[in-house]
Chain A
Amino acid sequence: MAVLNIVQAVKRALDEEMARDERVVVLGEDVGKRGGVFLATEGLYQKYGPDRVIDTPLAEAAIIGAAVGMAAHGLRPVAEIQFADYVFPGFDQLVSQGAKLRYRSGGQFAAPMVVRMPSGGGVKGGHHHSQSPEAYFTHTAGLKVVVPSTPTDTLGLLKTAIRDDDPVVFMEPKRLYRAIKEEVPDEEFTIPLGKAKVRREGTDLTLIAYGGPTVEAMQAAEELEKVGVSAEVVDLRSLVPWDKEAVLESVAKTGRALVIAEAPRTSSFASEVAATIMEELLDQLLAPVYRVTGFDTPYPYVPDRQYMPTVTRILNFAKKALDY
């Protein structure tokens, strides 16, 4: 088994899907000879040529909008937005065109496409290189939203996203791009969208996370174990569709839940999960469901790491839930 980090997993997923299906094309800024600013498309231009690895003008509306039209016409485009913070000029294309094409045409047209974007903080990028804008997309019917946290999941989920018949926003936690390495099976595999993964089993408290903070959730679970608290960690992996069943199953068992995410709390996907748990499991809860999130400020340059849900913040909320 090869040891891969997340960037290498992205690259392998793109390579495998481009080799498997000639309709798959990659487009974005610097994705060609440069191989992308994070090198996620490195070598693809040399292997598949300029018709399938397309360097675009510096215009996100053109990148995403063209991807919609390519998809409607029969290609399987994978667009790269250099940073999730730069998706906004292309927001209308994603929300008004891509997300609604199947619906507004009564199923006549569709936009099977992926928009990849490095997301989240922890890289000393200030607010224009660190945000987690997933809620804008989970709020939009017609889009799917996937946020992996490991190399294996990145590979399996990206391949599924490329084969999916709907537009998928694929948010890659950039601070983990090279921070996590793991052995990934050499044989081909895919992972379905909408299935959460229990990263660690426990009985006293469920830590629900996705993307970057899954790492802090796992670290917090280890800390809790030292003081005799058994925490279960559920990695959502996919926000639309999301795995309500897995979440409710875990929280029904533990009776306590924290929903952990980097994005600001107000109107966040964490709020959606927390509200659902409370609507469906009120009788079985031993404490309120707390949202442990980024703050409702713009993402600051300093203190960079303290903005995100730290292990300390997770532990403080865990104590609150356990002491309730």
Chain B
Amino acid sequence: MIKDTWKFQPFTEEPIRLIDEEGNWIADFPLDLSEETLKKLYRDMVRGRLLDERYQIILRQGKTSFVAPSSGHEATQAGMAQAIRPGFDWLFPYYRDKTLLAAIGYPVEMLYAQMMATRLDPNKGRQMPEHPGLKELNVYTVASPIASHVPPAVGAAISMKIQGTGQVVLTTFGDGATSEGDWHAALNFAGAQGAPIVFAAENNRYAISVNFEKQSGSPRIADKAHAYGFPGYHVDGMDVLASYYVAREAVERARAGLGPSLVEFLVYRYGPHSSADDDRVYRSREEVEFWRKKDPIPRFERFLEKRGLWTPEEGERLREAIKAELLEAEAKAEAAGEVPPEWMFDDVYATPYWLLEEQKQILLSEL
């Protein structure tokens, strides 16, 4: 059921876009965001980009073992972050969401600590890098098996509905995830239950090397929502305001009891799938350059500049301030020190088990 008051039509052939490449507001409704919010969206994008670049450096320095590049995804992630209530709503992210997490207030030193597996990581260094999670902010700890977090996201949303908490779940994933059986099972169940959840596909067109044409016969991921009985929105994910407004509408619908939405954000990752990938073997440099020219950050700078909210000097000052903030966070994370080996026996179960106690003694005798 699509109300007249909703701004967006689902299942459009062309992506929903609110600012054009030159930074003009082209929507058919008035912008209702404060200067402060617009600047926060910009800051969140820049922080995400710089954090991604900084991760490459700590990878080269040997301080981390793995990076999942996210440059190109910033507008989508900053927009989504603005659409939820951090610490109230729940987030079930995937491994390429550093802009999103930093934007909702996940302390950057804890993100670094997860990357470097130091004691400051609330996940106690149990997982490979790019797998953060923070209970305090209702950020469900990332798991590697693709789409496996989507059924639990639906379960949390059903719990919210049963308990009438007014919360909403936002879950993100890449285009490859939409091929998994668990993804289908989750969306199908969410539709049947009318669960308060937003499914967000960050469609960067590649699942490692496999492009979207080989991933699916559907021209758009958003179309798949038809089959589950809820709206699917096809969005220019390099337009931060389109990302924000569509995510906001999807969240509002969920909170109003109208059930799930699927939002497909068209993005592009400039880097390889991960630090273990070489994308030169499966896509041309021309293609990457084509997308870099559509970069969401300069596009939003042009938008802000037209409103007197940005100058190149201000942009530079902000970058320098963020770089300093990131270096400080990195140092803090590193100073926390390595996770001790015997921690491996904690949190297997809530209560002690003789078997693990025995095995812990074996380990301790080897140290």
Chain A interfacial positions (CB closer than 8 Å to B): 25, 51-52, 54, 56-57, 59, 61-62, 64-75, 77, 89, 92-93, 96-97, 100-110, 141-142, 144, 164-166, 194, 240-242, 244
Chain B interfacial positions (CB closer than 8 Å to A): 90, 92, 121-127, 131, 133-135, 140-141, 143-145, 148-160, 162-163, 181-182, 185-186, 188-189, 192-193, 346-351, 353-355
Residues from chain A with a CB closer than 8 A to the CB of B92 are: 69
A166 with B349, Cβ < 8 A, contacts A62-B151, A65-B154, A68-B155 known: yes
A97 with B349, Cβ < 8 A, contacts A65-B182, A105-B141, A109-B133 known: no
* CA distance in complex: A200, B153 (Å): 47
Partner of B148, one of A57, A96, A108, A144: A96
Chain A proximity of B48: nearest CB distance (Å): 23
Residues from chain B with a CB closer than 8 A to the CB of A73 are: 90, 155-156, 159-160
B151 x A66 contact (CB < 8 A): yes
Question: Which of A57, A73, A77, A240 has the most C-beta atoms of chain B within 10 angstroms of its own C-beta?
Answer: A73
* CA distance in complex: A108, B90 (Å): 14
* CA distance in complex: A51, B181 (Å): 25
Residues from chain A with a CB closer than 8 A to the CB of B144 are: 96
Q: List 8 A-B contacts (CB under 8 A).
A: A57-B189, A73-B159, A74-B163, A93-B151, A96-B145, A103-B347, A105-B347, A108-B123
Query: Closest chain A residue to B134 by CB distance?
Result: A108
Chain A proximity of B64: nearest CB distance (Å): 17
A106 x B163 contact (CB < 8 A): no
A66 x B189 contact (CB < 8 A): yes
Chain B proximity of A289: nearest CB distance (Å): 19
* CA distance in complex: A242, B92 (Å): 34
Query: Closest chain A residue to B157 by CB distance?
Result: A69
Query: Closest chain B residue to A243 by CB distance?
Result: B354
A110 x B350 contact (CB < 8 A): yes
* CA distance in complex: A73, B158 (Å): 10
Residues from chain B with a CB closer than 8 A to the CB of A194 are: 353
A66 with B154, Cβ < 8 A, contacts A57-B188, A104-B131, A107-B346 known: yes
Question: 6 new A-B pairs (CB below 8 Å) besides A69-B157, A109-B135?
Answer: A25-B162, A62-B154, A69-B153, A69-B155, A92-B182, A109-B140
* CA distance in complex: A103, B354 (Å): 17
B159 x A59 contact (CB < 8 A): no
B354 x A62 contact (CB < 8 A): no
A103 x B162 contact (CB < 8 A): no
Partner of B152, one of A25, A68, A107, A242: A68
* CA distance in complex: A52, B133 (Å): 29
A51 x B188 contact (CB < 8 A): no
Residues from chain B with a CB closer than 8 A to the CB of A71 are: 155
A141 with B192, Cβ < 8 A, contacts A65-B150, A70-B156, A105-B135 known: no
A106 x B126 contact (CB < 8 A): yes
Chain A proximity of B20: nearest CB distance (Å): 39
B348 x A103 contact (CB < 8 A): yes
Residues from chain A with a CB closer than 8 A to the CB of B186 are: 61-62, 65-66
A106 x B156 contact (CB < 8 A): no
B350 x A166 contact (CB < 8 A): yes
A66 with B158, Cβ < 8 A, contacts A59-B188, A97-B149, A100-B143 known: yes
A104 x B149 contact (CB < 8 A): no
Residues from chain B with a CB closer than 8 A to the CB of A96 are: 143-145, 148
* CA distance in complex: A11, B189 (Å): 25
B140 x A72 contact (CB < 8 A): yes
A165 x B350 contact (CB < 8 A): yes
Chain B proximity of A164: nearest CB distance (Å): 8
* CA distance in complex: A166, B143 (Å): 18
Residues from chain A with a CB closer than 8 A to the CB of B143 are: 96-97, 100, 104
A72 with B152, Cβ < 8 A, contacts A106-B123, A165-B350 known: yes
Residues from chain A with a CB closer than 8 A to the CB of B152 are: 65-66, 68-69, 72, 93, 97
B348 x A141 contact (CB < 8 A): yes
Partner of B189, one of A51, A56, A242: A56
A101 with B141, Cβ < 8 A, contacts A69-B151, A69-B152, A141-B348 known: yes
Residues from chain B with a CB closer than 8 A to the CB of A69 are: 92, 151-159
